[in-house]
Amino acid sequence: MKQHLVQFWNRYERPLSALTLICGFTFDLLLAKRPDSIADNVLLLFYLVLAGTLIILINRRSDRDIQNEETVQPLVLLLVLQFCFGGLASNLLILYGKSGSLGSSLIFIGLLIGLLVGNEMLKTRYQQLRFNIAVYYFLLLTYVVIATPTFILHSVGTVSFLISGVLSLAIMAGFISLLRIFALRNNRSKQLWDMRIMVASIFLVFNGLYFANIIPPVPLSLKSAGIYHSVTALDTPSDGAIYSATYEPKHWYEFWRDTGDDFNITAGDPAYCFSAVFAPGELKTPISHRWEYFYPVTEKWIGVSLVQFPINGGREEGYRGYSKKQVLTDGEWRCTVETSSGQVIGRITFTVKTSSSTPALSSAKL
């Protein structure tokens, strides 16, 4: 029976590995909700603990096989490990993708593609410790960056991000120590150094992406944003004010926007930037609306005004707020929603055109 299983694995290893990874990815796409969901976090922690345990068991098995000169692959352990990696990647893709940042989504999509390519081109890569450690630490780091401000610090920003990174390194140092004790009893000092170098490299690259604004300031996420001709508070129920707003409808092809790109005004008309930013419960932080104008002479964005206001976490639809720009020049404008330290949560661009007639407006409650 064991021989038949080995033959089956050798024949169908690549499609089985890819299928298991995709199953884990799809499974969690259906379950992922919000960063402060207890159920989501329990599942993510379960995946991380299970994946770490499997890496130790696989390498313990490999260590034993080296002594016994055996090469039988731990089939079930490898498939479950890939399922865990796929589940972690998809859940974190949802949590980062909800920030509205295309860059963050591409990072995880690229990770999934890299894992699938690894299955096809590097047949035994999942048994190689360096590859496992690289994937595991990347997923651990991305989770800790969400969990630390959500459950421990209740704040976001550069300090929170740096503390999250240090915590991830501490966890990984403990994990590598467990690996050395339980799975690397044969002399594999080169692999230990390779692991440390790989972890340090991923840490530095992730920090570079964060400070380049490619990775958003999780766990904050932009639920909606638009440019309006008027915003008026109607009443104030327990979960926040209800606003009445007027806006120019978007074109059919602007499906990703809440309001249209065109902003037609008569002389002296203001513009309102309205945003709804999700933050986990108990998290309170200031955010800013940065108004900028694209100056055609220098072809650069010029800061015009900065409006800051606090938000409170917990509301599913996001904490709503708006800012007003009174004097507008014809041309390209944008309103950037960002943290107090300048990390971009989202951005709305629009084109101002002055005319003698009032544009046709639609109304909505926000």
Give the least confident one: 18-27, 134-143, 254-263.
Answer: 18-27
For residues 224 and 261, what is the distance between their CA atoms, to the nearest angstrom?
15
For residues 354 and 329, what is the distance between their CA atoms, to the nearest angstrom?
8
Instruction: Note whether 104 and 214 are within 8 A (CB).
Output: yes
* pLDDT, the chain, mean: 81
- Mean pLDDT over 32-37 rounds to 76
pLDDT confidence tier of residue 36, bands split at 50, 70 and 90: confident
Assess whether pLDDT exceeds 90 at residue 85. no
pLDDT in tens, 143-193: 999 999 999 998 888 889 999 999 999 999 999 999 888 877 665 667 788
Name the pairing type of β-strands 344-354 and 331-339.
Answer: antiparallel
User: Which has the closest alpha carbon to 257: 278, 292, 220, 226?
Assistant: 226
pLDDT in tens, 57-77: 888 876 555 444 444 456 778
What is residue 35's predicted lDDT score, i.e. its pLDDT? Answer: 82
DSSP calls for 318-347: -EEEEEEE----SEEEEEEEEETT--EEEE
Q: What is the fold of 221-365? A: Immunoglobulin-like (2.60.40)
- Quick one: 252 exposed, middle or buried, by C-beta within 10 A (0-12, 13-18, 19+)? exposed
Token pair in block for residue 11: 């024949």
pLDDT in tens, 292-348: 999 999 999 999 999 999 988 888 888 889 999 998 999 999 999 998 888 888 889
Q: Where in the chain is the domain with CATH 2.60.40.10?
A: 221-365
333 phi, psi to nearest 5 deg: -130, 160
Assess whether pLDDT exceeds 60 at residue 141. yes
State the alpha helices, DSSP H only, in the chain. 2-29, 38-68, 75-97, 102-121, 129-147, 158-182, 189-211
Cis, peptide link before residue 286, omega less than 30° from 0: no
- Mean pLDDT over 2-23 rounds to 60
For residues 183 and 136, what is the distance between their CA atoms, to the nearest angstrom?
16
364: number of Cβ within 10 Å: 13
For residues 166 and 214, what is the distance between their CA atoms, to the nearest angstrom?
20
**Residue 271 forms beta bridges with which residues?**
325
